[in-house]
Structure 1
């Protein structure tokens, strides 16, 4: 973890693009609450195969114009170089300076993966087209990508993204701090020197969390699962316990030198803010 202490800490919040005008109004309220904490940036997700393309663009530009740096997610699977290039030009002309570059998922029914099949190819293309204009975030998987053949293949995939020109990485969410420490240690030994920021998922709904975690390969520790199961439909107890678990996780990560936190908000302000305030991040102080 020593390599991570050299990097300036940054804190960020992630949204997904709302489907309706009412959803956009609700997101604006969430954004205003989170903006008061002065995060370094917001990020906005991009649906499988570009399915939320226009909504992502609208959300990114709306948030960006309101004064806080906003980073659009951009996935390459199922897309052409031309369409990706158009997006990059649009974002650059509007003052966007950070991109979250991902492979993405191929929607069901879509046969061809597109001209760029992997995230490292997308990173290379962004650098080829725009030089050093964008800071490029890529994904990292402390508990390994669910489609990786093995641990070494997973690390090699990450290495390719770094060598293609990634600036920093944001991890898949996890609840086991040791998995993050082990991943960072492996990156250090492999000579991969860049900020690796933990992605953190607040716990607010057990059934949704369990379903999503099983799908994406994020392990919920048995003791956490059992306690959440015991609460049944008691949402207040689930939130309170979840807040304690996630706060302790963040405390441990930051104390060990993690270069910040990226909150997966699910378009809700209070769960992430509760952890933020527990960590005394009002002035983004160092631990």
Structure 2
């Protein structure tokens, strides 16, 4: 089995303890040589400054290629592009451009009066700067706001046509879900890379809640397996096995890149990577 290229998603710390946790996560996963790592934006843009600071710090001190999340929520066009310019001046050349989730207490996205109306407008503006490689989100299960799956495919194509270079999918539980989506995208004329998003499940209750909120289908066998594993105290073992099998199935189906949602808890992600044969690279000259 060939080894895929990998990337990792982190979220910005809100406390001193969380800052140490993020740095421990980076140190654990950096030796696996990811092609990039990304730092998220909180719902409603709540971690805008934290994201900016975390991106700048990681870019300066980690030696990793860092991608910054950027959303349209609760900011004018000028404010959003000023944030992008801040990233560029810090040396960051990769952005994950997203519409963003509604602020807490709101059930749908409402554009800022002077802001971008959609992720497509944001992507077009970023592409015009010619300063960034742009990644976007994709949904292999139907987005909660989409009319149907074909609407998700059409919207992804529009984002890629607007200037994005690559798509990162929401997480899913079965490889066939991704393959079905990939085939639909190819049929629609999409020829840019679509990278599957992988969630190693640290906490089943939290993962289940998140899956339901974002429209990710939970197969009955996954639900039953985790219910039993939680009772038996073997949740981590099951999570590692399921995630490794999912990644293996994807690789066998032609996938050459994987994007892991780490939740700043690196152990399961590291263990899955090890199981796939992705291990820290040793400099033989230094060992000799």
For normalisation by structure 1, the TM-score amounts to 0.91
Distance in 2 of aligned mates of 1:249 and 1:42: 21
> Structure 1 unaligned runs (5+)?
none
Q: Report the alpha carbon displacement of residue 109 of structure 1 after superposing the two structures with TM.
A: 5.3
List aligned pairs for 1:136-285, cutoff 5 A: 136-235=134-233, 237-282=234-279
Q: Is the 8 A contact 1:123 1:166 kept in 2?
A: yes
Q: Is the 8 A contact 1:119 1:161 kept in 2?
A: yes
Distance in 1 of aligned mates of 2:24 and 2:194: 29
* Number of residues of Structure 1 aligned to a counterpart in Structure 2: 275
1:80 aligns with 76
Q: Report the alpha carbon displacement of residue 147 of structure 1 after superposing the two structures with TM.
A: 1.0
In the TM superposition, what whole-angstrom CA distance separates every residue of 1:169-195 from its partner, at most 9, and x where no partner exists?
000000111111111111111111111
In the TM superposition, what whole-angstrom CA distance separates every residue of 1:90-147 from its partner, at most 9, and x where no partner exists?
111111111000000121457841221211111011112x12x211110011112111
Distance in 2 of aligned mates of 1:112 and 1:43: 25
1:16 aligns with 11
Distance in 1 of aligned mates of 2:24 and 2:280: 22
Task: Tell me, yes or no, if structure 1 residue 71 matches structure 2 residue 67.
Answer: yes
Question: Which of 21, 30, 33 does residue 25 from structure 2 map onto?
Answer: 30
For normalisation by structure 2, the TM-score amounts to 0.91
> Structure 2 unaligned runs (5+)?
282-288
Distance in 1 of aligned mates of 2:87 and 2:180: 35
Q: Is the 8 A contact 1:77 1:117 kept in 2?
A: no
Q: Report the alpha carbon displacement of residue 83 of structure 1 after superposing the two structures with TM.
A: 0.8
Structure 1 segments, 4+ long, off by >3 Å, are 108-112, 232-235
Q: Is the 8 A contact 1:120 1:164 kept in 2?
A: yes
Distance in 2 of aligned mates of 1:234 and 1:214: 24
Distance in 1 of aligned mates of 2:4 and 2:136: 17
Q: Report the alpha carbon displacement of residue 45 of structure 1 after superposing the two structures with TM.
A: 0.3
Q: Is the 8 A contact 1:195 1:259 kept in 2?
A: no
Distance in 1 of aligned mates of 2:49 and 2:74: 16
Q: Is the 8 A contact 1:199 1:262 kept in 2?
A: yes
Q: Report the alpha carbon displacement of residue 221 of structure 1 after superposing the two structures with TM.
A: 1.5
Q: Is the 8 A contact 1:76 1:84 kept in 2?
A: yes
Distance in 1 of aligned mates of 2:54 and 2:255: 29
List aligned pairs for 1:97-116, cutoff 5 A: 97-108=93-104, 112-114=110-112, 115-116=115-116
Distance in 1 of aligned mates of 2:243 and 2:165: 26
RMSD: 1.8
Distance in 1 of aligned mates of 2:256 and 2:72: 27
Secondary structure, aligned partner of 1:249:
helix
Q: Report the alpha carbon displacement of residue 198 of structure 1 after superposing the two structures with TM.
A: 0.5
